[in-house]
Amino acid sequence: MSRIPLLPDRERPLVFAHRGCSSLAPENTMAAFKKAKEVGAPGIELDTHCCATGELVVAHDDTFKRTAPGDAHGGGKELEALSLAEIRSIDVGSFFDPRFGGERPPLLEEALEEFCPALYIDIELKSRKTRGDPLPGLAAEKLKRLGDRVAGAVTVSSFNPFCIRAFKERCAELGLRIPTAAIWCDDPEVPWILRRGAGCFLGRADYAKPDNRQVNRFSSFRWAHVEGRSPVPWTIDDPALAERMLRLGCAGVITNRPQDILPLIRAQGAAFRGGAS
């Protein structure tokens, strides 16, 4: 099965600001995405869930308990059980700094319309279901409706290979070619069978998003040159670690601190242009 190329028209190495520039603004908010653009990040990574009323909401956790600790919904009600109206009432900025009070969870569509195609965006689908989840189909349909705005500017990833596979199947029906990635790490919350990258095969993923601790000379060569899947590791905030990942042939990095990683990349210039594509 041929791989869909990973953002082939974008300059290497790829740099995704993790949940936006989440070191300088509250994660997964328009403020964080604007800050990423402000510091010069060429791409952002964000997370999306499907809420109870069917909209695709940008947020990482299953609840808002961490990012809205003082809110009634922040007490633990599942995001997927909340309506959009309820979600729009939640302040997800004050937990980071009072200056960001009033930041609300954005819709996926709002982020894509605001920042694509100027920035490229990695959309992580947050799903725990093996079948019957509306999220992958809704995401594919949303990207189809946005058309040229997102063409060549988005990727889709997930820890859940069944979600990735369902997304790819819906994309094929819609005539879309969107690169997809399996994400993994060696963590008890991840099913043991997926902790070494098996999701790439189960989900038929086009590229790889491993925890940076699983990247070495052998693994990066295998993913890129044997399997044909460009590695884009996460989450890398130390410039020295970023340099090591890129010299191992990674196509890019995901970072909370693009303001620290970008100067390294600019300084090295052509030395990093040969990452796997």
Q: Specify if 199 maps to a domain.
A: yes
CATH number at residue 137: 3.20.20.190
Q: Please give the pLDDT value at position 229.
A: 96
Q: How far is CA 56 from the centre of its chain?
A: 14
Q: Specify if 246 maps to a domain.
A: yes
Q: Specify if 216 maps to a domain.
A: yes
143 against 274, higher pLDDT: 143
Q: Specify if 90 maps to a domain.
A: no
Distance (Å, whole) CA 185 – CA 85 = 34
- Contact 230/207 with Cβ under 8 angstroms? yes
Distance (Å, whole) CA 260 – CA 248 = 20
The contacts of residue 252 (CB under 8 Å, 6+ apart) are 12, 13, 14, 15, 16, 43, 232, 275
Burial 13-34 (b: 16+ CB within 10 A, else e): bbbbbbbbbbbbbbbbbbbbbe
Q: Please give the pLDDT value at position 200.
A: 97
Q: Specify if 86 maps to a domain.
A: no
Residue 269 pLDDT exceeds 80: no
Name the 3-class secondary structure at 94: coil
Q: Specify if 83 maps to a domain.
A: no
- Contact 87/125 with Cβ under 8 angstroms? no
Q: How many domains does the chain have?
A: 1
Look at the block and give the residue holding tokens 């995001």: 79
Q: How much is the average pLDDT of 106-126?
A: 98
- Contact 242/255 with Cβ under 8 angstroms? yes
Residue 44 pLDDT exceeds 90: yes
Q: Please give the pLDDT value at position 73.
A: 78
Q: Domain of 176?
A: 14-63+106-269
- Which residues of the chain form beta strands (DSSP E)? 14-18, 43-50, 56-58, 120-125, 154-158, 180-184, 207-210, 252-255
The contacts of residue 122 (CB under 8 Å, 6+ apart) are 16, 43, 44, 45, 46, 154, 155, 156, 157, 181, 254
Q: How much is the average pLDDT of 118-124?
A: 98
Q: Specify if 9 maps to a domain.
A: no
Q: Specify if 85 maps to a domain.
A: no
Q: Please give the pLDDT value at position 1.
A: 56
| Interval 58-92: pLDDT, tens | 999 999 999 999 887 777 899 999 999 999 999 99
Distance (Å, whole) CA 154 – CA 48 = 14
pTM: 0.96
| Interval 200-254: pLDDT, tens | 999 999 999 999 999 999 999 999 999 999 999 999 999 999 999 999 999 999 9
Instruction: Give residue 274's pLDDT band: very low, low, confident or very high (50, 70, 90).
Output: low
Q: How much is the average pLDDT of 155-159?
A: 98
